[in-house]
Structure 1
Amino acid sequence: MSVAVPLNSPLHIGLMSGTSLDGVDGVLARFAAGSDTIEATLAAAYVPFPEHLRADLMALQAAGPNEIEREAHAANALAVHYADCVQQLLLQGAVEAADIGLVGVHGQTIRHRPELGFTRQTNNPALLAELCGIDVVADFRSRDIAAGGQGAPLVPAFHRAVFGSEVQDRVVVNIGGISNISILPAGADQATSGFDTGPGNVLMDAWIKLHQGRNYDANGDWGASGQVHAGLLAQLSDEQFFRLAPPKSSGRDLFHLDWLQAALARTGQPVSAVDVQATLTALTAGSIAQAILAHAPTTEKVYVCGGGAENGLLMGLLHQALGGRLSVESTAVLGVAPNQVEALAFAWLARRFELRLPGNLPAVTGARAPRVLGALYPA
């Protein structure tokens, strides 16, 4: 028998550190009494990762020596950064830890292998609860995978709740390290669906880091100074993942620099570094557009969140790849800043856990049935 968590407060915190490995986004949200309806976002904070932690987390993306100990150290460091973000939110919101019901935290994905029955989000939620003095809910993906699902994406149910329309077919595109779409047909009774479409910023970030030492291509300016290489784009686009039918999800386990280098080798000709960047941007835009056109042909509006919403080149290429017929706008026009959407989603998922309501959508993840997601770490 499950035991419900007491509804002590309508205030919840959501924390998200994504595939881009840049830092922690956090939000403080107020929910309507006894429900999962978000009334307001009261504060938002961002805590960047120091370069050594980013390097440690990047190294954990692939098999290596002494992984268990290295992961444990990284998890503890993550908890400290999560706690820092929580403290900033409390200060901004002028509230105390005792005022907060739950902290929902995603953790840092280092392996995502649903086809093998597991996903791994590095975290130390017990330490986070100890540091913050607030109950923590974590490990949201494992329950869905245990029920036969992909464990991802988890945001479509949240996107429906916050961005759905009664009169308009919409798609919400989250462009973090990996891109995913949420298909939101008009009307509350219509089925929401969604899936990972392929790389978001992960390859673009890795390539500019390799060649220029920068963590990301601000506004896509470097990529915009190059030319799309048709041969390389064809090699990249030939990846089997793009042809798989949903439900499907992906991560750095597939899309990484070695994967890119193999495609470069198959082109049989040299490609300049800047042209590779332009081509990677086109790959992200094209794979997203292909997914929308194939699976959501009645879409009337496309809204983008995540770091990709700040890439002007990528936004323009996505608009072009959709045939120029659909407007492509940031979720900011719907009232939620693009860099706050995923953190807000995990505040919402924590609230769903508290209410003992399912957080997954079987039509999205492929799970056998809806499941309550997360595990509780009391303060």
Structure 2
Amino acid sequence: MATGGNLKRAIGLMSGTSMDGIDLAMIETDGDGAVQRGASSFASYDAQFRKRLERALETAKAIEVRSDRPGDLAELEAELTDRHAAAVEDFLAREGLSASEVEVIGFHGQTVLHRPSQALTVQLGDGERLAKRLGIDVVYDLRANDMRLGGQGAPLVPAYHRALAAGLESEWAQETPVIFVNIGGISNITYVSADADLRAFDSGPGNTLIDQWVKHHAGIPYDSGGAIASEGRVLSGLANRYLSSPFFSAKERLSLDRNDFKVPGDEEASLEDGARTLAFVTAAAIAKAQAHLPEKAKLWILTGGGRHNRMIVEDLTVATRHTGRVILAEEAGLNGDSMEAEAWAWLAVRSLAGLPLTYPGTTGVKEPATGGVLARGQGCDVA
């Protein structure tokens, strides 16, 4: 059911490369320029389930066909899907909504393998199972069609960023070009010019190296607020080793997998120096993105968990001080935690309308491409 006019109420579900839980967000949208942002939430994974997801990354390396589920991946996929269903049920209960009041769910699932060179991407998550349990239509598998048409399959959020950029108000509306920076496990950027030209690509490691480093050396899942990094110093040799990677100078922008950059060896840095250096690498990699853009950005809007690491923010502010201004998403009236989940809701509605999700300037796809698979839930008998 539509909520009025051409707007549809949609819920987006995102489980990202940090594998810490499920982001949920609700919006009302036409899948184009009309976006009314609503409630959002987060359902965390317990430590044991996170370990199972981490092990799945190794198991998934054996996958050669997208439908393969070696080892315990089929069982894990079912449990992950059921956890998403439970998160939606809790969310709806808190918001006082019934399933019939939601038109569609955009379901990302959990990426366990992403090899653009082989046109192979695997997200654990059973869209049919989710739709049947909730009694709500589900759009899932949104990356595959882009890869079939020659794209990288990522990033998919840029088209939503462009819709948000068009809706920026007050002083921010005049600050173009604008770059949205999502600092998740992998960082990616979206460039939107004054005339809405869209460019997007992965910029390099985001939180993944820092998270792995502090987990190994301190037994904690992430460096909260950059507190550990703030006690260290940048090791220039280590930083330069990362930043001299051919990835940054290659003309073609490639999407990254969580394992494309390796964590430093134990002997290469102390806990604090390692965290500080990896924060610097994250920021420097983002700043390097400007070399692949037609014009310098006037405004950088930071989203994702990495925006809470003050060392990353400080380093990026210094690196871009002569060209633009760095702000957190919240300063522009946006939600930096729920933006990707919002995007998946928006993309689901856009998919239902048959509109493009990706473009040559975002994923390298040959021509604007729609995508997604629809699993029918509305009208089904739900146990």
2:245 equivalent to 1:239: yes
CA distance in 2, matches of 1:76, 1:356: 28
**Deviation (angstroms), 1:293:** 4.8
CA distance in 2, matches of 1:65, 1:116: 14
The 1-side partners of 2:322 and 2:16 are apart by: 30
Structure 2: distance between partners of 1:27 and 1:48? 14
CA distance in structure 2 between the partners assigned to 1:84 and 1:134 by the alignment: 13
Alignment partners' CA distance in 2, 1:251 and 1:245: 18
SS at match of 2:53: helix
Spell out, residue by residue over 1:53-109, the C-alpha distance to the aligned partner (whole angstroms, 9 max, x if none). Answer: 111111121247896241112211211221122123312332110111110011111
Which residue in 1 is equivalent to 2:48? 52
Task: Please show how residues 247-286 of structure 1 align to structure 2 within 5 Å.
Answer: 247-257=253-263, 260-261=264-265, 270-286=268-284
Change (3 A) 1:298 1:65: closer
1:294, distance to aligned residue in structure 2 (A): 4.5
Give secondary structure in 1 for the equivalent of 2:72: helix
Aligned twin of 1:156: 158
Q: Say if 2:218 and 2:271, in contact at 8 Å, map to a contact too.
A: no
Residue identity opposite 1:220 in structure 2: G
* Equivalent of residue 211 in structure 1, options 214, 217, 221: 217
Partner of 1:123: 125
The 1:38–1:83 alpha-carbon spacing in structure 2 relative to 1, beyond 3 Å, is farther
Query: 1:286-338 CA distances to partner (integer Å, 9 max, x unpaired)?
Result: 00011125525431100010001111111111111223552211111222210
Distance in 1 of aligned mates of 2:240 and 2:358 = 34
Q: Distance in 2 between matches of 1:38 and 1:60?
A: 38
The residue aligned with 1:134 is 136
Aligned residues: 361
Out of 25, 37, 41, which is 1:41 matched to?
37
Counterparts of 1:324 and 1:60, CA distance in 2: 43
Displacement after TM superposition at 1:41 (Å): 2.3
The aligned residue for residue 189 of structure 2 is: 181
Map of 1:20 onto structure 2: 18
- Conserved in 1, the CA contact under 8 Å of 2:229 and 2:272? yes
**Cα deviation, residue 285, structure 1:** 0.3
CA distance in 1, matches of 2:157, 2:211: 23
TM-score computed with the length of structure 1 as normaliser: 0.90
Whether contact under 8 Å (1:152, 1:249) holds in the other structure is yes
Structure 1: runs of 5+ lacking an equivalent: 1-6
Q: Distance in 2 between matches of 1:182 and 1:332?
A: 17
Q: 1:153: how far off?
A: 0.6
- 1:221-236 correspondence runs (5 A): 221-236=227-242
- Offset of residue 272 of structure 1: 1.6
- Note if contact 1:209-1:216 (Cα within 8 Å) is conserved in structure 2: yes
The 5 A counterparts of 1:365-376 are: 365-376=363-374
Give the equivalent residue in structure 2 for 1:85. Answer: 87
* 3-state SS of paired residue (1:120): strand
Cα gap change, 1:296 to 1:174, in 2 (>3 Å) = farther
Q: Relative to structure 2, which stretch is displaced further, 162-171 or 200-209?
A: 162-171
Question: Is the partner of 1:68 in helix, strand or coil?
Answer: coil
Q: Which residue of 2 aligns with 1:4?
A: none
**Which one-letter code corresponds to 1:50 in the other structure?**
D
1:45 maps to amino acid = S
Cα shift at 1:9: 7.1
TM-score of the pair, normalised by structure 2? 0.89
8 Å CA contact 1:163–1:334 kept in 2: the answer is no
Matched to 1:199, the amino acid is P
